[in-house]
Amino acid sequence: MPWWSWILIWIALVAVSLLFYVLLGIRLFRQFMATLKDLGAAGERLGHFSPTSLPDQPAQPSTPQGAAVFASPVQMRHDYHTSKSARREDRRLRRVQRRTDRGQRQSLGDLDFT
């Protein structure tokens, strides 16, 4: 085999590998652009929601963020227990409504006798 045939073989191998990398890059670029398009579409869909239209937003705390450092422990304990009992009552009401919708019996502990 003459010496120049090895040069041709290596040139062909390098050309094929470069072609493979170019095609791989084009495929990766197209997938990236499709992902960006889907991300933009999702952003457009979520951009139409306003903060008031979101379901069941948690209540805002009575004290601003970070105010617990300077508040009295008695006030923070009161806020904690108040919010805890409000969350517990919300769960109880949702449980009663869910059981009513399903036609199930109610627990005596869930019923409000007041």
Average pLDDT of 91-105? Answer: 91
- 89 falls within a domain: yes
The model's pLDDT over 5-58, given as tens digits with 9 standing for 90+, comes to: 999 999 999 999 999 999 999 999 999 999 999 998 888 888 776 655 555 656
Task: Give the pLDDT score at 54.
Answer: 54
- 13 falls within a domain: yes
Q: Could you tell me which of 68, 90, 86 has the C-alpha nearest to residue 77?
A: 68
Phi first, then psi: give them for residue 105, nearest 5 degrees: -70, 150
Looking at the fold, whether 42 and 78 belong to one and the same domain comes out as no
Domain limits at 13? Answer: 1-47
Query: What residues contact 105, with CB distance under 8 A and at least 6 apart?
Result: 99
- 53 falls within a domain: no
pTM of the predicted protein model? 0.41
The model's pLDDT over 47-80, given as tens digits with 9 standing for 90+, comes to: 776 655 555 656 665 657 777 788 889 988 999 9
